[in-house]
A and B are shown apart, each in its own frame.
Chain A
Amino acid sequence: MQVFKELGQYGTLMYQALRSSLEPGTYRSNLFQELVKIGYDSIPIIMLTGAFTGAVMTIQTAYQLESSFISESIIGAIVSQSLLIELSAVISSLVLAGKVGARIATELGTMRVSEQIDALESMGLNSVTFLVVPRILSGLLMFPVLYVLAASTGIVGGILTAYLTGALPIFEFMKGARLYFFPWDVLFGFVKMFVFGFLITSVASYKGYYATGGAEGVGKSTTQATVLGCLYVVTADFVLAALLL
Chain B
Amino acid sequence: MIEIRNLTKSFGRATVWKDVTLNIHRGETLAIIGRSGCGKSVLIKHINALLKPDSGEIYVDGENVFGMDYVGLRKMRQKFGILFQGAALFDSISTFENVAFPLRYFTEQSEEEIRKNVLEALEMVKLQNVAEKSTAELSGGMRKRVGLARAIVLKPQYLMYDEPTSGLDPQTSDEINELITMLAETMEITTIVVTHDMHSVLRIADSVAFLHDQCLHWSGSVEEMKTSNDEALLSFIKASEYQI
Contacts and interface: CB of A to CB of B under 8 A. Distances in A.
Contact of B78 (A26, A123, A126): A123
A6 interface: no
**Interface residues of B: mostly helix, strand, loop or mixed?**
mixed
Given A121-B77, A123-B106, A124-B74, A114 B86 contact: yes
A7 interface: no
B106 A124 contact: yes
Interface string A118-139: 1101111110000000000000
Given A122-B82, A123-B105, A116 B77 contact: no
A123 B50 contact: no
Contacts, number: 45
Given A118-B45, A118-B50, A124 B84 contact: no
Nearest to A120: B90
A66 interface: no
Nearest to A20: B70
Interface residues of A, number: 13
Interface in B48-76: 48, 50, 70, 73-75
Given A124-B74, A124-B77, A124-B106, A118 B101 contact: no
A115 interface: yes
Interface residues of B, number: 24
Contacts of B77: 121-124
A15 to B, nearest CB: 14
Contacts of B102: 123
A115 B86 contact: yes
A125 B106 CA distance: 9
A124 B91 CA distance: 19
Contacts of B90: 116, 119
Interface string B87-111: 0111100000000011001100000
B80 interface: yes
A110 B136 CA distance: 14
B148 to A, nearest CB: 12
A225 B82 CA distance: 31
B50 A122 contact: yes
Nearest to B70: A126
A115 B73 CA distance: 19
Given A118-B45, A118-B50, A124 B73 contact: yes
A109 B33 CA distance: 29
B21 interface: no
B85 interface: yes
Chain A CB within 10 A, most for which of B48, B77, B80, B88: B88
A119 B82 contact: yes
Contacts of B70: 126
Given A124-B106, A125-B105, A119 B74 contact: no
A146 B88 CA distance: 35
Contact of A124 (B45, B78, B88): B78
Contacts of B91: 110, 114, 116
A122 B48 contact: yes
Interface of A: 26, 110, 114-116, 118-119, 121-126
16 contacts: A114-B86, A114-B88, A114-B91, A115-B84, A115-B85, A116-B88, A118-B45, A118-B82, A119-B88, A119-B90, A121-B50, A122-B77, A123-B77, A123-B105, A123-B106, A125-B105
7 closest pairs, A vs B, by CB? A124-B74, A115-B88, A119-B88, A115-B84, A124-B77, A124-B78, A122-B82
